[in-house]
Amino acid sequence: MSLWQLLEAILMITNALAILNQDRFLTPHGWGFAEMGNGRVTSIKGQIVGLLHAVQYLRVPLVALNSIIIVSKLLL
């Protein structure tokens, strides 16, 4: 496994996290951002929910990174 393949795998996982719909998939299972409250949550579940919420802001850079990966795959 090369470093390039590892970066592609990380990009795919980030894509998967970015497209999760919070209302449809996370909130019914108690993983919504609203359930965590207003304070700082230090539990593992709270940190994962915070990560899922933060990944939502990466959608625009993900489009650029995905485009770079697609072009590089087509050229190589």
The vertex-64 CA angle with 48 and 75, nearest 5°, equals: 120
Give the residue from 19, 17, 16, 9 showing the smallest Cα distance to 69. 9
What is the SS3 string spanning 9-23?
A: HHHHHHHHHHCCCHH
Three state DSSP letters for 46-58? HHHHHHHHHHHHH
Sites in the chain below the pLDDT cut of 70? 36-41
How much is the pLDDT for 67?
Answer: 94
- Mean pLDDT of all residues belonging to the chain: 84
- What is the per-residue pLDDT for 37? 66
Contact 50, 41 (CB under 8 A): yes
